[in-house]
Every structure is written in structure tokens, then in C-alpha cells.
Structure 1
């Protein structure tokens, strides 16, 4: 129990102590394995790939495949990929390091404004720290109102929705549930677009060779999800358009692609790994790639984009590949996230 817990007024002396009421902010990102070993990777991938929001095939069809060939082989490949980017100093993935750094900065800004009336923490949808554990921590420390913030600029069922699902599942185990607000997509927030644009401007200014085109690479989804009503594709396209307008560019200088295809279905296209090769073959020997759907650098950016996709470009004759990092804990990004949080705190803290 927290040190500022007291017995309620007019309650009997043996009444359990209750912490002073506070507002909580719980940031949520995708997740990370605890380490790169086979069994830790297998446990993480099993949780991730068993999520019906991610792969919605019937369990009778998908689970035998997952528990058989996929989880027998993929943990080795994924573990090897994680090893190339692992934060050895802290013995954790870059996503864990960056999300913690983001949380620390956001907490510092919000506490400067609201003092001890607010608590800020983070959780992961898959793996640790779990949504359930972090929600329980906030409630035990007096949070009777919580803003839950999935750190995905664009909404998708496989990202924002599944994070919300897990949060509400955790709430089901609480006897005294807090009031909650979930943060919606924020891709069209001008402060977020401006932070993206600033990162592009820095990337171009420091590039050894001026890029011929900027590839905005978003994590892919099966094309079927678009036809079933998921707005992700449209929000990605609009993100690119808003970034283009903020930069003052024309259509020839920027384009939208999708990465991380998995399984036999058609996914959102064009595929990044194929498009960068086409760009090289078409004579664009210098390109830049940015990943606007990721709030923090992770395996899909540091390994997939900066290694696999770079290799595809160079093998097709490309010469100069510039990867523009995610916004991570950049101050402009933190300001955009804090502004979004404050919009969702209105009426709770002013």
C-alpha cells in the first residue's frame, strides 16, 4: 500500500486504508521478448501470433500450423534478428529502452504541470511488463481515473484495438474499476505531423547524398482487413499526404508502401521490399525510408528496414540508403504525445 493511503473519513478504525485519488496515464506499445533465447522467443511469438486480432483464421486451422512448423522454426530466426539490434548494455530490446525513455520524459512534463495528482507508466500488449500488472499497479496507487494510450498514430484492429482489448480484459479482474478513457488515433494531429516533418528535414540535411524519393513504409495488413472496414490503410495514406503538404513537396518526392508481409494472403501494397528494388532499377539510386506507423524503433525498423529492405535496394543497384529513425523520445514527439494526453485529460485535470 502507498504511503499516502489513509482511512476514509467517518470510517471505523479497522477499515482498509485507501490511497489518495490520482489520475493515471498508461502508455501501451506492442511488446518484446524477454531475451533472444529459443523458449523466450517462442513464448512471445505464441502470444503474439495467437491473437485473433493479428491472425483471424479459425483456431482449428491456424493453431496446428502455429504450434507445429511456425513455432518450431521462427523463434530461431526471430532470435537471430533480435540479437543484431539487442541493447546489450541493458539486456533488453530497443523497443523496451525507448518506450521507457518516452515514459520518463512524458511523466516529467506532466508532473511539472499536475504534480502528484498524476501517475504515468507503460505496458506492453505482448510480453512484459504486462497490461494487467501495470493496471493493477496504478489502481493500487490510487488511480481512480485512467487514460489508456496505445502508441499507434494510425488505428488498426491488429494494434490499437487489441491493446484496448487487453486493457479491458485486465479491468474485468478489478473489484473497484477506475473510470477510463482510451486515446484514439492521432496521425492527423498537427504536432505529430510537424515532428515527423522535422525528422525528415534532419535526415535529409545529414544525408551524404540527397535522396531522390522518401519511402513512407507502414506495417502491412492483409488487404482483406481493408475491405472488412479497418481504416488503417486510409489513415496511412493520409499521413503521407499530410507529411508531404507540411514539407511542401510534390507527389514525385514521396510515396506510401507496406512492409512485414506474413502468410499466403495478399497484403496492402506496394510492398516496401519490392518497391525499393523497383526504385533502384528505375534509376533512383538514393532513397530515404521512414516508418510513420511506429512510435519507437523496433525489430521492424532497425532490422527489417535498415537491414533486409536496405539489402533489397542495394542488390537492385541502389547506392545510397538513408533510414530516418522513428520519433522515439525526440522532444517534438514528446510534445505531441503530451498534447494528445492533455486533450484526453480535460475535465479530469486542468
Structure 2
């Protein structure tokens, strides 16, 4: 793609994980192959992993995952449609908050719109300084680290590369904590407060944490800060990890196993939020809101509710605007 540099300007690349192009087995297979080929996501030696991925996982999982996507798909993938809203709102907030009129492009680490296309689009608009905002509040090498890799790969074929700054995390940012707590308070004001609030974070293998990934520390800090902001007692909330994959141990306690056990401990009503997700997607709308609800109710629970992600809420746009402006200082 030909790049036309017109003048010095700022731009923002808003990045999320990714989504298939359609809720079909073939589209999901392409997406999963790209995702599960990332060495930061799966670090098994390629000689072992390729036969397993191509011969077992992709043929078996693609149709199942496609069916799950079909259950939440509307005109587009929720992750992509919400992401477009977030990009538009961020551009408006930057004008309102910072007086900064700059382009904002949505990109995905896997799938479309891609990171290389996002960078090219910004540069074609005259951008020379790009703030990369990965929508991962808690840093992990499997998410934010993969964004950094994708950025570096995209810049390899560009002769005059732009200056880049990236938001590494925002797990303890005061606006993020207040935004999460505020969404819970608003939900409870309308629907009442349950016996317990579960904060379910996406998991990673325990081995990754032992090797130095700070993700579990960030998750714990977020959960404690939200509980404090909500004035919850220790027995009123719990932190868990969801979406494990493969046979090796992942971060615990597991969300599904915890939900299965809670009714026997006298917990009959629970609300769940997923603070690691900036946008609702398959892992929240299908896994948490549907699959895990069934687990809890079949185990004897009486009330189970999922509180949506911040998505396109005004407080989320203000948070993103603040994160970008903090990166622009002294630039």
C-alpha cells in the first residue's frame, strides 16, 4: 500500500484481540490458525504444535467455535462493531478533552481490520506520531506483548517509520477502576445487589506467570481496587480466571469450577463482571453469560447475571482519552 506523508500529525491505533470475518467454520478456522500460531499465545515447540494444531484442534474446534459465534453474531462480530464505536467516541473525546483533532483507527492483532492496515491508514492521513492503545487493562505477554510484536512486524516494510508510543497497561488507573465500579453500582441500582460479585479474568497458563508475566498481579490489583471502590467485604466478592485451553494448569481459581461449587456453600445469587475485557465478545457473551450461567443454575443457584463490559460507555471514552493524552505529554 502506497503511503503519503503530508505533514506532522498525531494518530491513535486502538487495538483489540481479534475476531473471525464471519460465524462460519472456514472463517473461524482462519482466525484460530492465526491466533494459535502466535508463539506468545502458545509457546510449544513448532514440531510438536503444528501437527496438533492443524490435525486435531482446527478441524475439531472450528465448527464448535463457529456455532458459538453464530449465537452472538448480529450484523457483525460484537467485538468489531463495539470497537468501531469506541474508535469514533475516542476521536470525539480527544477533541472535547484535549482539543486534539486526530484520526483514530481500530485494529486487531488477529483478523480484520489488521494492524498493518491500521498503521498504513494513519500514515496516509499524514500521521507521523502514533499512540498505540491496546485494549488490555492488565498487561500480559500473550496480549499486549503480541501487539508490540505485530507493530514491529508492520514497520519492517516501511521506509520512513512513524514515531510510536504504546500504553502498556491501565489496570490500576483511577478512571478505569471508577468506571468498572460505576457500572456495577448502576446495575445494582436497577436490579438489586446479589450475595456475591465475581470478577472473572481471562486466564493464562500458570507457567507463563512463573516465567515473569505480571498478569496475575495486575488482575489481583484490579479486583481489590474495584472491591474497595464498591465498599465490599471480603466475603462479598471473589476473583477467578476463565477460558482455559489445553491440559496444563492455568491460573486459578477457575471460573466454571468456582460457580459449580458456590451453591453448595450457600451462595444462591451472583453477578459476574469481566474486568480484563474492554469490549463484550465471545468469551463474555457466550462463555460467561450463557455457559457459566447454566453451570451455576444447574448446581443449585437461583440468580445469575452478567454485567456488561464498559464497551461504548461515556466513561470508557473519557478513560481512553486520558490514556492517550498521558502518552502525548512531552511529545
Q: So what's the TM-score if we normalise by structure 1?
A: 0.92
Query: Displacement, 1:202?
Result: 1.6
Q: Aligned partners of 1:18, 1:159: CA distance in 2, in Å?
A: 30
Q: Aligned partners of 1:304, 1:96: CA distance in 2, in Å?
A: 18
Query: Displacement, 1:347?
Result: 2.3
Q: Aligned partners of 1:149, 1:116: CA distance in 2, in Å?
A: 16
Q: Aligned partners of 1:23, 1:122: CA distance in 2, in Å?
A: 15
* 1:229 partnered with 2:212: yes
**Structure 1 counterpart of 2:64:** 77
Aligned 8 A contact 1:280 1:317 in 2: yes
**Structure 1 counterpart of 2:44:** 57
Greater radius of gyration (CA): 1
Q: So what's the TM-score if we normalise by structure 2?
A: 0.97
| Alignment counterpart, residue 271 of structure 2, candidates 273, 277, 288 | 288
Q: Aligned partners of 1:18, 1:239: CA distance in 2, in Å?
A: 40
* 1:254 partnered with 2:241: no
Aligned 8 A contact 1:22 1:117 in 2: no
| Alignment counterpart, residue 315 of structure 1, candidates 298, 306, 314 | 298
Q: Aligned partners of 2:183, 2:205: CA distance in 1, in Å?
A: 29
Q: Aligned partners of 2:254, 2:190: CA distance in 1, in Å?
A: 27
Q: Does the C-alpha gap of structure 1 residues 35 and 278 become closer, same or farther in structure 2, counting only changes over 3 Å?
A: same
Which runs of no fewer than 5 residues in structure 1 stay unpaired?
A: 3-15
* 1:29 partnered with 2:12: no
Q: Aligned partners of 1:333, 1:255: CA distance in 2, in Å?
A: 24
Residue by residue, what CA displacement relative to the aligned partner does 1:46-96 show, whole Å, maximum 9, x if unpaired?
000111111110000111000001111111000000001002xx2x11000
Q: Aligned partners of 1:227, 1:41: CA distance in 2, in Å?
A: 31
- Structure 1 stretch 256-265 or stretch 331-340: which is displaced more? 331-340
Paired residue secondary structure (2:72): coil
- Structure 1 stretch 187-196 or stretch 277-286: which is displaced more? 277-286
Aligned 8 A contact 2:5 2:127 in 1: no
| Alignment counterpart, residue 189 of structure 2, candidates 198, 201, 205 | 205
Q: Aligned partners of 2:323, 2:279: CA distance in 1, in Å?
A: 17
Query: Displacement, 1:333?
Result: 1.4
**Structure 1 counterpart of 2:6:** 19
Q: Aligned partners of 2:101, 2:264: CA distance in 1, in Å?
A: 57
Aligned 8 A contact 2:98 2:325 in 1: no
Q: Aligned partners of 2:94, 2:102: CA distance in 1, in Å?
A: 7
* 1:195 partnered with 2:179: yes
Q: Does the C-alpha gap of structure 1 residues 116 and 204 become closer, same or farther in structure 2, counting only changes over 3 Å?
A: closer
Which runs of no fewer than 5 residues in structure 2 stay unpaired?
A: none
Q: Aligned partners of 2:208, 2:127: CA distance in 1, in Å?
A: 36
**Structure 1 counterpart of 2:228:** 245
Residue by residue, what CA displacement relative to the aligned partner does 1:180-234 show, whole Å, maximum 9, x if unpaired?
1011110100010000000111222222x53111010000000111111000001
Q: Aligned partners of 2:199, 2:325: CA distance in 1, in Å?
A: 28
* 1:273 partnered with 2:260: no
**Structure 2 counterpart of 1:7:** none
**Structure 2 counterpart of 1:9:** none
Paired residue secondary structure (1:84): helix
- Count of residues in correspondence between the two structures: 331
* 1:163 partnered with 2:150: no
| Alignment counterpart, residue 118 of structure 1, candidates 95, 102, 113 | 102
- Structure 1 stretch 291-300 or stretch 333-342: which is displaced more? 333-342
* 1:129 partnered with 2:116: no
CA RMSD of aligned residues (A): 1.6
Query: Displacement, 1:117?
Result: 5.0
| Alignment counterpart, residue 30 of structure 2, candidates 19, 33, 43 | 43
